Amino acid sequence: MEKSDLLKIIGKSIQDVRVSKGLSQVDLVGKMQGKIDTTNISRIESGRTNPTIYTLYRISQALEVSLEELVKHESRTI
C-alpha cells in the first residue's frame, strides 16, 4: 500500500467517525487537547498531511474512540 493511500484511508476514518458523532471540524478542534488548527484537521481528513501519532491520539480521545479504530484499514477503502 502506498503512503498516500494509507493517509487517505485514515483521514476518511477520522471524518466518518466525526460525522457519525454529529461534529464539525471546528467542534473536533474544540474538543482536542492542545493547539491544532481547523485547517490541519481538513488536511488530515483529506489525506494531504501525515499526522503524528500524538495528533492521532488526541483526535481519538476527542472523538471518544480508540486509536486502533482510527488507524485500522483492513476493511476500509479510499
Q: List the single range of 8-12, 28-32, 68-72, 74-78 with lowest mean pLDDT.
A: 74-78
pTM, rounded to two decimals = 0.90
What are 39's three cell numbers?
485547517
pLDDT of residue 76: 56
- The domains located in the chain, with CATH, are 3-67 (1.10.260.40)
> What is the rounded distance in angstroms from the CA atom of residue 64 to the CA atom of residue 18?
10
Mean pLDDT, range 7-16, rounded to an integer: 96
